[in-house]
């Protein structure tokens, strides 16, 4: 859905800090708090805003290992089958089907290397998994929440 410049500004401010009040948002964009609330309500109703959340620092919570794992399936495996299988692991924080040789890519957080190895073994033991390929993150260089594309 296309956003007008005021909607884009409101979304950008909420992406930066979703705890901002409607009054503060209104001051920043030149609208009343009630006008901002109506816009946010409309953006939620139309699906542009799906919710409000907190961004956490995984290392501060004890997740010291981060990895991306490619999954290669034995046969054609429906994305829903992969989703159900990996959703039971709280360590899998993202999962996507991808183009290329791999069928899916997972982002996994673990408390240490042994924990990561255990999770990887369990994922690799799924009946549809032929093999996995892992890449460990050394230092995250850039992380940003999604926002509307530039115009």
Distance CA 74, CA 42 (A): 45
Query: For the CA atoms of 26, 27, 31, 33, what is the dihedral angle to 10 degrees?
Result: 40
Average pLDDT value over all residues in the chain: 94
Flag whether pLDDT at 16 surpasses 70.
Answer: yes
Within the chain, which residue ranges are assigned CATH 3.30.70.920?
58-136
* Sign of CA pseudo-dihedral 19, 24, 26, 32: positive
Q: Percentage helix, strand, coil, to 5, in the chain?
A: 40, 20, 40
Q: What is the DSSP letter of 90?
A: T
Instruction: Answer yes or no: is pLDDT of 149 > 90.
Output: no
Which part of the chain has CATH 1.10.10.10? Answer: 5-45
The architecture (CATH level 2) of 58-136 comes to: 2-Layer Sandwich (3.30)
Domain range 5-45, CATH class:
mainly alpha
121: which 2 tokens?
């073994």
Convert the pLDDT of each residue in 79-131 to its tens digit: 999 999 999 999 999 999 999 999 999 999 999 999 999 999 999 999 999 99
User: To the nearest whole percent, how much of the chain has pLDDT over 90?
Assistant: 85
3-state secondary structure of 3: coil
């Amino acid at each position: 859905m296309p956003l007008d410049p005021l909607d884009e500004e409101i979304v950008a401010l909420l992406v930066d800090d979703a705890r901002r009040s409607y009054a503060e948002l209104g001051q920043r964009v030149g609208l009343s708090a009630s006008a901002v609330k109506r816009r946010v309500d409309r953006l939620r109703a139309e699906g542009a805003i799906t919710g409000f959340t907190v961004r956490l620092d995984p290392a501060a919570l004890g997740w010291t290992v981060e990895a991306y794992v490619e999954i290669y399936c034995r046969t054609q495996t429906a994305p829903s089958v992969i989703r159900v299988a990996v959703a039971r692991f709280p360590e899998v924080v993202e999962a996507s089907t991808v183009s290329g040789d791999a069928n899916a890519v997972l982002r996994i957080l673990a408390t240490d290397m042994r924990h990561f190895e255990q999770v990887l073994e369990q994922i690799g033991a799924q009946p549809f998994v032929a093999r996995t390929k892992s890449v460990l993150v050394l230092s995250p260089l850039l992380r940003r929440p999604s926002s509307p594309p530039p115009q």
